[in-house]
Amino acid sequence: MAAPFDLNDDSVVVIVGSGAGGGTLGTDLALKGVKVVMLEAGARHNMEDFVNNEWESFAQLAWTDMRTTSGSWRVHKNFPNLPAWIVKSVGGSSVHWAGASLRFQEHEFKTRTTYGDLDGANLLDWPITLKELEPYYARAEDRMGVTRTNGIPGLPGNNNFKVFEAGAKKIGYKEVSTGRMAINSEARNDRGSCQQIGFCFQGCKSGAKWSTLIAEIPRGEETGNLEVRPQCMVVKIEHDASGKASGVVYVDKDGKMQRQKARIVAVAGNSIESPRLLLNSASNMFPDGLANSSGQVGRNYMRHMTGSVYGVFEKPVHMYRGTTMAGIVRDEAGFDTKRGFVGGYEMETLSLGVPFMAAFLDPGGWGRSFTSAMDGYVNMAGMWLVGEDMAQETNRVTLNTEVKDKHGMPVANVHFDDHPNDVAMRNHAYAQGAAIYEAVGATRTLPTPPYPSTHNLGTNRMSEKPRDGVVNKHGQTHDIPNLFVSDGSQFTSGGAENPTLTIVALAIRQAEFIAAEMGKGTI
Amino acid sequence: MTTLIDRRGPSRRALLAGIGAAGALMVSGAAVLNPREAWGLEVSALKPETMRTLIVMARDVYPHDRVPDRFYAVAMKPYEADAAKDPALKALVEEGVITLDTLAKARYGVPYADVGWEDQRVALLREIEGGAFFEKVRSGLVVGLYNQEDVWPIFGYEGSSADKGGYIDRGFDDIAWL
pLDDT digits (tens, 9 = 90+) for A387-398: 999 999 999 999
Mean pLDDT of A322-346: 98
Asked if pLDDT for residue A30 goes beyond 90, the answer is yes
In B, minimum Cα distance to A324 occurs at: B172
The pLDDT of residue B58 is above 50: yes
Q: For residue A359, which residues of chain B lie inside 8 Å, CB to CB? A: 142-143, 146
pLDDT of amino acid B14:
46
Minimal C-alpha gap between A19 and chain B (Å): 24
Calpha distance A164→A348 (Å, rounded): 9
DSSP label at residue A471: B
Q: Please, what's the b/e burial string for A334-372 (b: 16 or more CB within 10 A of its CB; e: otherwise)?
A: ebeeebebbbbbbbbbbbbbbbbbbbbbbbeebebebbe
Arithmetic mean of pLDDT over chain B: 90
Cα A424 from Cα B51, distance rounded (Å): 47
The residue type of A176 is V
Chain-chain contact of B167 with A321 (C-beta, under 8 angstroms): yes
CB B31 within 8 A of CB B2: no
Which of A53, A197, A206, A357 to probe the B interface (max B CBs under 10 A)? A197
From chain B, the residues in CB contact with A166 under 8 A are 178
Q: Which residues pair with A345 in a beta bridge?
A: A387
Q: How far apart are CA B162 and CA A197, in angstroms?
A: 6
Q: Which homologous superfamily does the CATH classification assign to the domain defined by A13-520? A: FAD/NAD(P)-binding domain (3.50.50.60)
- Percent with pLDDT over 70 in chain B: 87
Whether B23 is covered by a domain: the verdict is no
Q: Does the pLDDT of residue B65 top 80, yes or no?
A: yes
Domain assignment present for residue B174? The answer is no
Contact between A57 and A203 (Cβ < 8 Å): yes
Range A158-189 burial, b when 16+ CB lie within 10 A, else e: bbbbbbbbbbbeeeebeebbbbbbbbbbeebe
Taking CB atoms and an 8 Å limit, are A199 and B158 in contact across chains? no
Return the ∠ at Cα A269 (arms to A267 and A274), rounded to 5°: 65
Q: Which helix or strand (DSSP H or E) is residue B53 part of?
A: helix B48-61
* Whether pLDDT at B1 is above 90: no
What is the rounded distance in angstroms from the CA atom of residue A301 to the CA atom of residue A396? Answer: 5
A74 has pLDDT over 50: yes
Structure confidence at residue A3 (pLDDT): 61
CB pairs under 8 A between A and B: 121
Whether B155 maps to a domain, the answer reads no
Residues A217-246 have a mean pLDDT of: 98
CB contact under 8 A, B161 and A321: yes
Distances (CA, A) of A436 to A159, A323, A428, A449: 15, 20, 13, 18
Q: Contact, A403 vs A410, CB < 8 A?
A: yes
Residue A204: closest C-alpha in chain B: B162
Which chain A positions have a beta carbon within 8 Å of B152's beta carbon?
353-354
Average pLDDT over residues A267-278: 98
Tens-place pLDDT, residues B5-26: 665 555 554 444 443 334 689 9
Read off the DSSP letter of residue A268.
Answer: -
How confident is the model at residue B18, as a pLDDT? 41
The one-letter amino acid code at A256 reads K
DSSP letters along A375-426, please?
HTGGGEEEEEEEEPPPP-TTSEEEEEEEEE-TTSPEEEEEE----HHHHHHH
0.90 surpassed by pTM: yes
| Contact (CB<8Å) A353/B157 | yes
Query: Which residue of A47, A196, A356 to mutate against B (max B Cβ within 10 Å)?
Result: A196
Instruction: Tell me if A194 and B168 make a contact (CB, 8 A cut-off).
Output: yes
- Reduced 3-state DSSP string for A62-85: ECCCCCEEECCCHHHHHCCCCCEC
Whole-number pLDDT of residue B24: 83
Q: Is B60 helix (H, G, I), strand (E, B) or coil?
A: helix
3-state SS of B103-132?
Answer: HHHHHHCCCHHHCCCHHHHHHHHHHHCCCH
Are A505 and A140 within 8 A, CB to CB? yes
For residues A117-138, average pLDDT: 98
A367/B63 touch (CB, cutoff 8 Å), yes or no = yes
Listed in sequence order, the residues at least 6 apart from A72 whose beta carbon sits closer than 8 Å to its beta carbon are A416, A417, A418
Mean pLDDT, residues A97-110 taken together: 98
Note whether A292 and B141 are within 8 A (CB).
no
Residue A21 has pLDDT above 50, yes or no: yes
Residues with Cβ within 8 Å of A254's Cβ and at least 6 positions away in sequence, in order, are none
Nearest chain A alpha carbon to B61:
A367
Residues of B in contact with A50 (CB under 8 A): 162
Count of structural domains within chain B: 1
Is residue A480 pLDDT above 60, yes or no?
yes
> Which residues contact residue A152 at a Cβ distance below 8 angstroms, ignoring those fewer than 6 apart?
A145, A146, A184, A185, A186, A188
Is pLDDT at A269 greater than 70 in this prediction? yes
pLDDT at A50 over 60: yes
> Shortest CB distance from B146 goes to which of A195, A318, A354?
A354
Asked if the Cβ–Cβ distance from B122 to A321 is below 8 Å, we say: no
What's the average model confidence in pLDDT over A87-99? Answer: 98
**How far is C-alpha A418 from the geometric centre of its chain's CA atoms?**
19
> Domain containing B141: what range?
45-149
DSSP string covering A304-344, please? -EEEEEEEE-SS---TTSS-SS--EE-TTSS--GGGSSSS-
Q: What pLDDT sits at residue B178?
A: 93
Strands (E), chain B: 5-6, 26-28, 31-34, 39-42
| A contacts of B165 (beta carbons < 8 Å) | 195
- pLDDT tens track for A150-178: 999 999 999 999 999 999 999 999 999 99
CA gap A248, A234 in Å, rounded? 7
- In this complex, do A198 and B167 lie within 8 Å of one another by their Cβ atoms? yes
- pLDDT of residue A70 exceeding 80: yes
Closest Cβ–Cβ partner in A158, A166, A205 for B162: A205
Whether pLDDT at B3 is above 70: no
Residue pair A211/A196 in contact by the 8 Å Cβ criterion? no
User: In this complex, which of B64, B122, B146 lies closest to A355 when CB atoms are compared?
Assistant: B146
What values do phi and psi take at B17, rounded to 5? -65, -30
Name the more confident of A2 and A460.
A460
Which residues does chain B have within 8 Å of residue A53's beta carbon, measured at their own beta carbons?
159-160
Instruction: List pLDDT tens digits, range A358-374.
Output: 999 999 999 999 999 99
Q: Indicate the domain borders of chain A.
A: 13-520
Task: Kindly tell me the sign of the dihedral angle through the C-alpha atoms of A46, A49, A51, A55.
Answer: negative
Give B-chain residues touching A378 at CB under 8 angstroms.
Answer: 155-157
CA distance A47 to A91: 11
Residues of B in contact with A377 (CB under 8 A): 155-157
What ipTM goes with this model?
A: 0.95
Assign A232 to helix, strand or coil. coil
Mean pLDDT of A459-480: 98
Q: Is residue B127 assigned to a domain? A: yes
pLDDT number for residue A268 = 98
